[in-house]
Structure 1
Amino acid sequence: MEDKQLKAVITEETGRIDKVIVQLWPEYSRSKVQHWLKKQVVEVNGQVVKSNYKVQPQDEIVIQIPVATALELVPENIPLEIVYEDQDLLVVNKPQGMVVHPSAGHSQGTLVNALLYHVKDLSTINDVVRPGIVHRIDKDTSGLLMVAKRDEAHLSLAKQLKDKTTTRKYIALVHGVIPHDKGSINAPIARSKVNRQSQAVDEFGKPAVTHFTVLERFKSFTLVECQLETGRTHQIRVHMKYIGYPLAGDPVYGPRKTLPGTGQFLHAQVLGFTHPTTGEYMEFSAPLPENFQETLASLEK
């Protein structure tokens, strides 16, 4: 398969090359662009440039994006709960334990494998192992995800996420009894310097904001609704640990297993966005999974 090429001649945008590229192609993140620069696949006027290059008017930018071909995607007849679907997009309710897209160690059984079986067309904005995927939730987080079928819809949904105009509400069970009814956590997040497989609050990290509301208090736990303003990796898990109330069942950020079940008690319950074609605001809700409901019932007793 041939590499994907992006090409543009600069008319107005000037400044650092990475910032200009993100302005030209907002579907790609700044970190992705910086990765391309390190891989030397970004050329200006026929010459490979580094991240400190300053773009000038009439510069021609060409990016040769290597297409990932190492993983072969296989459609799999995996049960999939489709909450909504039309010609542009669909909303799915991902079960706990399912990985969103194939990666090293997870080549099968993912949401993408299921989508390829159940859905005829998926957007091609992302690389070949992530068709249709606009955003992700962790393997052991259940709940709602929007999936794009057309590239135009993908770009619109991705822009809404970037502009913070979507609605994303999660239900989480955390250790400890939170005394106040509401709160906001504004703490930047970056990859942990201690454990490179996890994230941590870091003053030099990316901005991250989580708002929470207490729904119910138990003897040693609190049920909260968390609303994301940003979407950093593991954001709710990191933020709740940061304020001293880590998620129950979280194998990375929480205390050792204290409740029956596998993985953190975190569910993406509400998802809202503006439809890319109709302009209508749409909002969907998914009930808590059975194991989550059973745990709450046992805590109430």
Structure 2
Amino acid sequence: MEKAYKLLSIQEHISNKKAKALIDEGRVSCNGKQITIARTELAKTSVLTIAHTPTPKIIFEDTQILAIDKPPFLESYQLAKMFAGWSLLHRLDKETSGVILLIKENSPFHIEAKQAFKKQNVYKEYLALTEGIIAEGCEIQKPILTLKGTHAKSKISPEGLYALTIIKPLSIIGKKTLLQAIIKTGRTHQIRVHLKSIGYPIIGDTLYGGAKAKRLMLHAHKISLLGYDFTSPLPNDFPAY
């Protein structure tokens, strides 16, 4: 047996520090399962796979807004640095793929867009793959409390903020369900926490009890605000529906 980061270091001819960083970023898997702890003991014959981050694609751009198709394993703030003169309007979790919007900081459109988010006048639709069969759609209306630290983590709590997620099964694949999730609010990890609360955590969401996978199977599919509509197609690592 050998520690995962040491195996990766040998396999990829990189330093132990770089190997640890890749594992900490959630980009390393073994036999299709994500390695989350660099010191995980693995058989010396194990073959580790690194998920390489593809280049973000521009969905749409004008003088007011820039819509990007964000790949997984890229932090939102890192993405923003790739586009000079633009700033984040909102964020996506590192492993979440899909539509993310950038604006010109403090422009009239930025101020109007922030108000649209505050007043919940933004349509946000995600796709999520969960373990288990969800036969019917439902509304999940449970308050969410977020604990801030080195890494944010949320939970259902009467002390939390109002949160509403509307889910609808799109297809059943074996014992998995591909869901549409529409969020009316934007709490930290909202879809992830709400799905965990009904017993169907997202595949790859090890933070909230999901089965291990190459990545968090959550995709920001559509977003609409102030007359704009943007869509990111279903990624290749999601099952078709």
Shorter chain as normaliser: what TM range? 0.7 to 0.9
Q: Is this contact kept in 1: 2:69–2:97, CA < 8 A?
A: yes
| 1:92 is the counterpart of 2:61 | no
**Matches for 1:17-166 after TM superposition, within 5 Å:** 79-101=55-77, 110-116=78-84, 121-122=85-86, 132-150=87-105, 151-166=107-122
Task: Decide which of 241, 265, 277 is 2:217's aligned counterpart.
Answer: 265
Q: TM-score, normalised to structure 1's length?
A: 0.58
Alpha-carbon deviation of 1:198? 1.4
Alpha-carbon deviation of 1:192? 4.9
Alpha-carbon deviation of 1:166? 1.0
Larger RCO of the pair (alpha carbons < 8 Å, separation 6+) = 2
CA deviations 1:214-233 (Å, max 9, x no partner) are 10012221110000100011
Specify whether residues 159 and 256 from structure 1 end up closer, same or farther in structure 2 by C-alpha distance, changes over 3 A only.
Answer: same
CA deviations 1:149-198 (Å, max 9, x no partner) are 25211111111111111111000001111122x110010111259x9741
**Alignment partners' CA distance in 2, 1:167 and 1:286:** 14
Specify whether residues 148 and 140 from structure 1 end up closer, same or farther in structure 2 by C-alpha distance, changes over 3 A only.
Answer: same
Q: Is this contact kept in 1: 2:131–2:211, CA < 8 A?
A: no
Give secondary structure in 1 for the equivalent of 2:160: coil
Give secondary structure in 1 for the equivalent of 2:188: coil
Give secondary structure in 2 for the equivalent of 1:158: helix
| 1:220 is the counterpart of 2:175 | yes
CA deviations 1:116-162 (Å, max 9, x no partner) are 2xxxx33xxxxxxxxx1111110000000111125211111111111
Runs of 5+ consecutive residues of structure 2 not aligned to the other structure: 1-53
Q: Is this contact kept in 2: 1:171–1:267, CA < 8 A?
A: yes
Q: Is this contact kept in 1: 2:203–2:211, CA < 8 A?
A: no
**Alignment partners' CA distance in 2, 1:141 and 1:82:** 17
The residue aligned with 1:232 is 187
Alpha-carbon deviation of 1:251? 2.0
| 1:253 is the counterpart of 2:215 | no
> Which letter does structure 2 place at the counterpart of 1:255?
G
Task: Decide which of 179, 190, 197 is 2:135's aligned counterpart.
Answer: 179
> Which letter does structure 2 place at the counterpart of 1:265?
M
Identical aligned residues as a percent? 33
Specify whether residues 174 and 208 from structure 1 end up closer, same or farther in structure 2 by C-alpha distance, changes over 3 A only.
Answer: same
Structure with greater proportional strand content? 2
Specify whether residues 251 and 184 from structure 1 end up closer, same or farther in structure 2 by C-alpha distance, changes over 3 A only.
Answer: same
The residue aligned with 2:229 is 283
CA deviations 1:276-297 (Å, max 9, x no partner) are xxxxx221111122222xxx26
CA deviations 1:25-81 (Å, max 9, x no partner) are xxxxxxxxxxxxxxxxxxxxxxxxxxxxxxxxxxxxxxxxxxxxxxxxxxxxx9331
CA root-mean-square deviation: 2.0
**Alignment partners' CA distance in 2, 1:152 and 1:191:** 30
Runs of 5+ consecutive residues of structure 1 not aligned to the other structure: 1-77, 102-109, 123-131, 275-280
User: Which aligned segments of 4 or more residues in structure 1 are displaced greater than 4 angstroms?
Assistant: none
The residue aligned with 2:13 is none
Q: How many residues align?
A: 186
Give secondary structure in 1 for the equivalent of 2:186: coil
**Alignment partners' CA distance in 2, 1:200 and 1:251:** 14
Q: Is this contact kept in 2: 1:79–1:114, CA < 8 A?
A: no
**Alignment partners' CA distance in 2, 1:229 and 1:87:** 27
